[in-house]
Amino acid sequence: MLSRILESILTKLGESFVSKLVDQTADNAHNNVKSIKDFELILKALQKKLKALGAKAFDVEEEIKNSELSGQKKRKREVEEWLEEVRSIEMQVVELGIQVESEGFITRLMDGGLPAKLIDEVDTLVEQSRNFGELVLDVCGSRGDKLLTNGMVGEAFNENLEMVLKLLESGEVSSIGVYGMGGVGKTTLAKHIHNRLLQHSQGRVIWVTVSQDFSVTSLQDKIARLIGVYFLGEDNEVIRAARLNTALSQMKNSVLILDDVWENIDLLKVGCPISVECCRLIITTRSLELCRQICCQKKIQVQNLENDEAWELFKETLRNERELDFSAEENARSMAKLCGGLPLAIVTVAGSMRGERAIHTWKNAYEELRERVSGNDGMGDGEVYKVLKYSFDRLNRNHHSLSNEFNTLQHCFLHCALYPEDYKIMREHLVREFISGGLVVERKTRRAQVEQGHSILDKLVNVCLLESCAVPGRFDPTECVKMHDLVRGMALKICEGKYMVRAGDKSLKEIPKEEEWAKDLEKVSLVDNGIRRIEEGMSPNCPKLSTLLLWGNYWLEFIPDSFFPKMQGLCTLDLSRASITKLPNSIRAMKNLKALILESCYKLKDVPYLGGMKKLRELNLSHTAIKKVPRGVEELFNLKFLAMDADNLRMIRSGLFTKLGNLQHLELPFRIQVVFEEIENLEMLEEFSGRVKNVNDFNSFITSLGSRVHNTYYKIGVGSYDKGIYATRGVCYNKELFLSKCNLKDERVLAERIVQLTISECEGLSVCFVDGLKRLTIQYCGGIEYILKKCQMSTLEEIELVKVDAMKGLINKGEIGASSALAQPVFSSLTKLTIEKCNKMRIPLSGVPNLEVIDISRCEEIEEIFEDEGTSSLTLPKLKSLWLRNLQRLRKVGILSGVPSLEVIDIRECEEIEVIFEDKVLVDCDSFGF
């Protein structure tokens, strides 16, 4: 493919030359012939080198794949990063081919030197591949993470826990089924089992949530991701099962926990070899019959709590600082009893009563709950639903109402049910949806609305209708919330007839039939499915529909014009992460639309005229294929959120932002240099992502922001465009600054309260100049010798230094003083230190007590890693990983006598090393590489 692209460029090169040659003088023609011939040679050299690099990358992938089949190996981080860089270069070549189709690009391409730069990068990658050594590491240390869970309640709970652990230890049982009604605590029990096994067993513990939307393929994907098996595009279930079987068969004493199983699973078809010797099985389910179908050898029922146990859990959930009055406690005990010993119901009801002390409030609450459970309210639903519905109804007290039916809290809670079952919903994303959907009250600033949204989520978590959770992030864990499946079921039952939710089912290839779209529908969620197209002529009649969510349908390629005309009440349309190339023209007539979200529709090029959508407040076109700003955007005077961080967008019309005075959030591609005057007068702007020309423009921008009464957040590039330094894109709710090829000698940067600072190829940098940082990256900068001289960096968590030739150390002890440095750690929060191509660097142990990861590579002159600061015993008590690679003169690591947390030591291409630790160290490491 890449060869064809380069051949096409060469052909275009010839055509471009011939078309212009006729009009030129002989001398000019001769010069052009020479430059084109030279350029042609460069392209051919690039073509040849890319072919060799591609072959090498293919061989590396194949070798890794074969090693990973065992389940005992994982790819080295440097190899994975190398493969990512190869893919990046391949994508640049693809982009080059696309751009060459534009008229006149060949001339700019010849002047820009891009192919020559790509050749240098390819040569570097080829050279790196020669120094890999082993491509994989052992994964025996990756046994799993401890799961967050509630405390154990009840004698029976402890008995069940001990019984399961004894059965596993006996060596006689390979499969255990844990069953009981929904909300009784099966998952909580399984989590405690998981954590105890992690603590006391040597084998792997694999946790997978199955849920109702089960398929063999999705289950294979989940297990593979956890044990380090890569299918690499393989979609044949039989082959995938064979790979999983091979990996799991070699993992002795492992335990596979399948939580929330709803239907029979053919484990052989999945690829799970259940046996006492290698992989034992625990399932949780609501059905005893299912335990039998899956052939569980032992079946354990989780019973409801006894009355006294129920009361203890109720009291624990209330978290009262003072005891309740006698009469209030009597009603509280009665309410706990009405919950029928079901932990989920007890926690939910008790959560809704937190902070209540008045006797009349408790009496009234008990009467309401009793009427629900007894059925006197006319509701014919099950008892669990009635109890959960009671907690939902209590949200309606003393809160601002959006309508006669539900209030703000209730609307926001019901919105969460639009997500798939067991889905971890990012809080920031959810709050943005609350704002764009008009679910929160209008405030003067966007930040005030964001804080209102988070406050609503806090309240829903506090009353136990949502659960707090987190997912690993690039830097910090991402805060999320999730719904228990019973609570979600209750929410969907409340909205029956008004919501249509079919989410998280990759096997759903077609959109629901037209007759399934009821006329009274208000919200439709078809997110995260496998829908491929919407058939021509389909036109659901849904005049009340306000929200349509189709995000996550990656294969959706076509939406017909007929689809939208009978949805004139639509306010929110989210098509994110679809494969559509164009929007239907009928979308122009949607006059009531307030939010049009097209983020990551990476093939979307054609967007029709949008000027008729006068009510539009949010337009998200980031990471699409648009080449120009859609017509009519300048007429959207009510727009508050505009995101256009699109790689192919090359120009923004002059004067566009002068007409969008209500903008609060603006995202632009870093490739485009923003004219400062264009955004200076956006007085409502609170969140901005983009690039300005120089430090002077940045300072002017910061000064203009400082004159406003509301807080501002930004991610700003200053100076030249450098794709490599923008690791994350879009707007974060903090402040991030990227300086590229700036002269910092005479310019003072107005950088205050910045969370992340990246400095690349800047001149005049003598010392880092910003306090309060969390993450600092300095690369390709000459002149700087120390991170700091006289100030402390107590907030700094990560430092990355790349090719900072003059760098001697983190701290200039000559100015700080060694005694003061030892008395109080300078980098007290530092957890990760990455150093590459810095020949003179050393690490002071005394200033980094919380360091967890050290990664040092390609520093040609380093002979010893850690500085000897005159102490007899220095420790790094939290150090988990030590990566040392390609350090040709390294003789010893240095004085390091206490590393109790060390898990991984990976030392490669350090041929002169003699001593790893100067003192004798007792280390229990899971992975060594030498």
Q: Count CB neighbours of 395 within 10 A.
A: 21
Overall average pLDDT of the 208-224 stretch: 84
The answer, yes or no, to whether residue 579 has pLDDT greater than 80, is: yes
Percent of the chain with pLDDT over 90: 22
The answer, yes or no, to whether residue 832 has pLDDT greater than 60, is: yes
Question: Which residue has 């206490």 as its token pair?
Answer: 898
Spatial separation of the C-alpha atoms in residues 270 and 381, rounded to whole Å:
37
Spatial separation of the C-alpha atoms in residues 430 and 359, rounded to whole Å:
37
Spatial separation of the C-alpha atoms in residues 706 and 748, rounded to whole Å:
16
**Within 13 Å of residue 747, how many CA atoms lie on the same side as its CB?**
21
Closest alpha carbon to 776 in 807, 812, 822, 745: 807
Q: Specify the pLDDT at position 34.
A: 53
Overall average pLDDT of the 252-276 stretch: 87
Closest alpha carbon to 261 in 270, 252, 249, 273: 270
Question: Which residues make Cβ contacts (< 8 Å) with residue 500, sequence separation at least 6?
Answer: 512, 516, 517, 518, 521, 523, 524, 525, 526
Percent of the chain with pLDDT over 70: 78
Q: Specify the pLDDT at position 707.
A: 65
Q: State the pLDDT confidence band at 66, using cuts at 50, 70 and 90.
A: low
Using one digit for the tens of pLDDT, what is the confidence trace for 744-758? 876 777 777 788 889
**pTM of the full structure:** 0.71
Overall average pLDDT of the 517-524 stretch: 95
Using one digit for the tens of pLDDT, what is the confidence trace for 141-179? 445 667 777 776 778 888 888 898 888 888 888 899 998
Specify the DSSP element, H or E, that contains 28.
Answer: helix 26-68
- Cα radius of gyration rounded to whole Å, the chain: 31
The answer, yes or no, to whether residue 102 has pLDDT greater than 70, is: no
Q: Specify the pLDDT at position 465.
A: 86
Report strand pairing: 136-138 vs 73-75.
antiparallel
The answer, yes or no, to whether residue 929 has pLDDT greater than 60, is: no
Overall average pLDDT of the 310-316 stretch: 86
Q: Count CB neighbours of 400 within 10 A.
A: 9
Q: Specify the pLDDT at position 920.
A: 42
Q: State the pLDDT confidence band at 20, using cuts at 50, 70 and 90.
A: very low
Instruction: Return the higher-pLDDT residue of 236 and 74.
Output: 236
The answer, yes or no, to whether residue 205 has pLDDT greater than 80, is: yes
The answer, yes or no, to whether residue 24 has pLDDT greater than 50, is: no
Q: State the pLDDT confidence band at 86, using cuts at 50, 70 and 90.
A: confident
Q: State the pLDDT confidence band at 321, using cuts at 50, 70 and 90.
A: low
Q: State the pLDDT confidence band at 201, using cuts at 50, 70 and 90.
A: confident
Q: Specify the pLDDT at position 605.
A: 92
| CB distance 470 to 479 below 8 Å | yes
| Burial of 518 from C-beta contacts in 10 A (0-12 / 13-18 / 19+) | middle
Overall average pLDDT of the 804-818 stretch: 66
| CB distance 550 to 574 below 8 Å | yes
Largest CA distance in the chain: 106
Instruction: Return the higher-pLDDT residue of 912 and 611.
Output: 611
Overall average pLDDT of the 440-447 stretch: 87
Question: Angle between the 446-462 and 427-436 helix axes, to the nearest 10 degrees?
Answer: 120
Overall average pLDDT of the 587-609 stretch: 93
Overall average pLDDT of the 395-422 stretch: 78
Question: Cα 250 vs. chain centroid, distance in angstroms?
Answer: 31
The answer, yes or no, to whether residue 389 has pLDDT greater than 70, is: yes
Closest alpha carbon to 863 in 833, 834, 836, 894: 894
Q: Specify the pLDDT at position 917.
A: 59
Query: How does the average pLDDT of the chain come out, rounded?
Result: 80
The terminus-to-terminus CA distance of the chain in angstroms comes to 38
Q: Which of 431-445, 808-822, 888-902, 907-921 has the lowest mean pLDDT?
A: 808-822
Instruction: Return the higher-pLDDT residue of 424 and 22.
Output: 424
Overall average pLDDT of the 839-847 stretch: 65
The answer, yes or no, to whether residue 556 has pLDDT greater than 80, is: yes
Spatial separation of the C-alpha atoms in residues 810 and 865, rounded to whole Å:
13
Instruction: Return the higher-pLDDT residue of 612 and 470.
Output: 612
The answer, yes or no, to whether residue 118 has pLDDT greater than 90, is: no
The answer, yes or no, to whether residue 667 has pLDDT greater than 90, is: yes
